[in-house]
Structure 1
């Protein structure tokens, strides 16, 4: 247990450049408090002390702004940055070295039974405000862009952006954690640019056709004048 707590503190220093001391991290990082509270709640949940587990979860939610159902399975070195508004559902499964930012929802899509929440594999990163919904899988080393809504499986080594989420394959190259929220690929904007270029091309072709027609009319007019 203490080894895992030490790892949790170390990952804060790895992921957050504003962290200055272990004492500061232990006393002031709500995401860390939420993770530790969840581990306690999950221990009770596995032993079928559901009320105690849920009570711990709700108390943690009140103080941290992070709601993690005690049934969720979370791996090692999980990092919640800022944390406010994070929601993690009961049947979520989160691997090792996963990072999520504030406002992230790992939720369900309705009242279905059984496995109804996402599985997030190792080294994944889910950015601010993203919604990952349903019994889907986020592959290893993948990233979900800020504000995205993901409803389908994401293969490993991929980046997902947009509503609904669209996949940008990274050619099997491992995605690093130095994630820049400002430089996300935008497939919708790219498609709009393609359409705009097609419209410009069509306009040029149409202008050329009109010019040919005008020249033909003028030629016929001259022919009629010569004939007269």
Structure 2
């Protein structure tokens, strides 16, 4: 629950609402909460039978969140501390994706699989990355730290530290990065 508290603290920092109000009213927090519990079970050393049973219920709980909030965060992906989902709806994260610490994503974001043969895979996203509305980050790529990905962008190539990416396919327009966004 330590990781979830970092998420909750970040939500509170952005809104100045009580943690209880945020937990009741923020669909992104619901999804993160379910993910954190499910991921803890997934990484645990519980006996195989118990683990499978708990993960069955975790997947069921995750599907309920997907239906009500439109956010899919599989228990097997890896997400660092202080994760923030700005608005709910249309968010898809691949089961093998890796997302670093202190990252923000907006509604409509897809972090998914793409590519062919040895280039096929999912992104590894660094720390302090901001991903704007309806952006797609796909393929076996590395997004380094402090990157800003603008709304409606398609990122299919590696991105250097502190880049600001925009367009389809996304190109770097400056090296200001995500500092003002996180």
Q: Would you call these one fold, judging by a TM-score over 0.5?
A: yes
What SS does the aligned partner of 1:10 have? helix
Cα offset for 1:129?
0.4
Q: 1:114 to 1:41 in 2, by over 3 A?
A: farther
Q: Distance in 2 between matches of 1:109 and 1:147?
A: 17
What SS does the aligned partner of 1:87 have? strand
2:180 equivalent to 1:177: yes
Q: 1:40 to 1:116 in 2, by over 3 A?
A: same
Alignment of 1:17-32 (within 5 A): 17=15, 19-32=16-29
Large movers: runs of 4+ above 4 Å: 110-115
Q: Distance in 2 between matches of 1:114 and 1:44?
A: 31
Bigger relative contact order (CA 8 A; separation at least 6): 2
1:158 corresponds to which residue? Answer: 163
RMSD: 2.3
1:66 corresponds to which residue? Answer: 71
What SS does the aligned partner of 2:82 have? coil
What SS does the aligned partner of 2:137 have? strand
Q: Distance in 2 between matches of 1:136 and 1:54?
A: 27
The alignment's TM-score, normalised by the length of structure 2, stands at 0.85
Gaps of 5+ in 1: 180-228
Task: Please say which structure displays the higher CA radius of gyration.
Answer: 1
The alignment's TM-score, normalised by the length of structure 1, stands at 0.69
Q: 1:57 to 1:165 in 2, by over 3 A?
A: same
1:36 corresponds to which residue? Answer: 33
Count of matched residue pairs: 174
8 Å CA contact 2:11, 2:84 repeated in 1: yes
Cα offset for 1:83?
2.1
2:78 equivalent to 1:81: no
Cα offset for 1:61?
1.1
Q: Distance in 2 between matches of 1:119 and 1:64?
A: 24
Which structure has greater strand proportion? 2
1:8 corresponds to which residue? Answer: 7
